[in-house]
């Protein structure tokens, strides 16, 4: 599986091009990544930055993906699964191109789903801004920073990422992508047993689940919002894997299900003698 996201930084003028965005594509298993700067060549009359931002289209992203996957020097090949957010730039021509190469397309339902690529974006920004001095970053007279050769700088940062040993893999992404199987340690140590040794919920258990930010009205939690789902659900199915937390899928009495899966810590078991208020009260 590959995760992809568009990264936004300060606009950079390099030679005769103004770069506005960066496409970041990362292999989930090996953590190998590729970043393509997206810019506008300065030809003819000067254009405003606002007009230039219109280049972020599905056609542009499709061309960037071809540049990554069709490069014989790049070990990233067309993946089996491609995960992105629901932005319009990942639809249209982008989806058409992926389907032509037999790639299954998935859309993230929350920021949590895109955690690997979001963390990669943050690390890139930290390294990227290290090359500027304080004057460049504090100068508010222009939205544009000038660099001699941005593409070479981006490539050197990405090369450093891919050749640095990662804590979770115990090897560099450049080494990991050459292997058939890679075992990654969890990013956070889990207390208690996992996988086949984990104590599991039964299909007869009634539960409520912990809401995430995308499930709040307007995508933001207010003081009056509930922390847990207003409906009670039953365990519909579970998935047990070696060295991984057990995943649960839920279903209510009407056959409706949340779109995501849950780990045990996100579920609260409701005893059979607990009586909830009527649904019309909870809904309002």
Per-domain boundaries in the chain = 2-176, 195-283
pLDDT mean over 31-39: 93
pLDDT mean over 125-140: 68
- Ramachandran area for residue 218 (φ above 0: left; ψ -120 to 50: alpha; else beta): left
Rg of the chain's alpha carbons, rounded to an integer?
Answer: 23
pLDDT at 135: 46
The model's pLDDT over 67-104, given as tens digits with 9 standing for 90+, comes to 999 999 999 999 999 999 988 999 999 999 999 999 99
The model's pLDDT over 246-277, given as tens digits with 9 standing for 90+, comes to 899 999 888 888 888 888 888 999 887 777 66
* Mode of pairing for the β-strands spanning 267-269 and 17-27: unpaired
List, in order, residues 6 or more apart from 230 with CB less than 8 Å away.
Answer: 279, 282, 283
pLDDT(65) > 90 = yes
Q: Distance (Å, rounded) from C-alpha 262 to C-alpha 55?
A: 38
CATH architecture of 195-283: Roll (2.30)
More confident residue, 145 or 37: 37
The model's pLDDT over 158-204, given as tens digits with 9 standing for 90+, comes to 999 999 998 888 899 999 999 888 877 766 666 666 777 788 888 88
User: Percent of the chain having pLDDT more than 90?
Assistant: 36
**Residue 134: its H or E element:** helix 134-138
Any idea which residue has 């990544």 for tokens? 33
Note the CATH number of domain 2-176: 3.30.420.10
- The first and second tokens of residue 96, run together, are 């058409």
pLDDT at 50: 57
Q: What is the rounded average pLDDT for all residues in the chain?
A: 83
pLDDT(118) > 60 = yes
């Amino acid at each position: 599986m590959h995760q992809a996201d568009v990264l936004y930084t300060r606009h950079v003028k390099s030679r005769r091009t103004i770069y506005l965005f960066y496409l970041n594509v990362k292999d989930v298993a090996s953590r190998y990544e590729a970043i393509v700067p997206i810019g506008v060549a300065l030809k003819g009359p000067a254009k405003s930055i606002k007009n230039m931002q219109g280049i972020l289209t599905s056609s542009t992203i499709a061309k960037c993906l071809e540049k990554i996957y069709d490069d014989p020097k790049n070990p990233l090949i067309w993946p089996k699964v491609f995960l992105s957010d629901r932005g319009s730039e990942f639809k249209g021509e982008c989806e058409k191109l992926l389907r032509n190469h037999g790639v299954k397309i998935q859309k993230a339902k929350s920021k949590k789903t895109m955690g690997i690529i979001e963390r990669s974006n943050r690390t890139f920004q930290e390294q990227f801004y290290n090359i500027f001095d304080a004057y460049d970053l504090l100068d508010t007279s222009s939205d544009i920073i000038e660099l001699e050769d941005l593409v070479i700088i981006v490539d050197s940062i990405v090369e450093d990422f891919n050749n640095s040993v990662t804590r979770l893999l115990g090897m560099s992404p450049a080494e990991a992508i050459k292997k058939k199987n890679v075992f990654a340690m969890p990013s956070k140590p889990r207390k208690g047993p996992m996988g086949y040794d984990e104590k599991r919920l039964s299909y007869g258990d009634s539960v409520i689940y912990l809401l995430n930010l995308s499930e709040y009205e307007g995508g933001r939690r207010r003081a009056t919002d509930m922390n847990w789902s207003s409906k009670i659900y039953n365990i519909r199915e579970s998935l047990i894997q070696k060295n991984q937390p057990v995943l649960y899928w839920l279903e209510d009495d009407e056959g409706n299900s949340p779109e995501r899966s849950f780990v045990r810590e996100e579920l609260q078991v409701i005893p059979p003698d607990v009586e909830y208020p009527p649904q019309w009260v909870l809904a309002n």
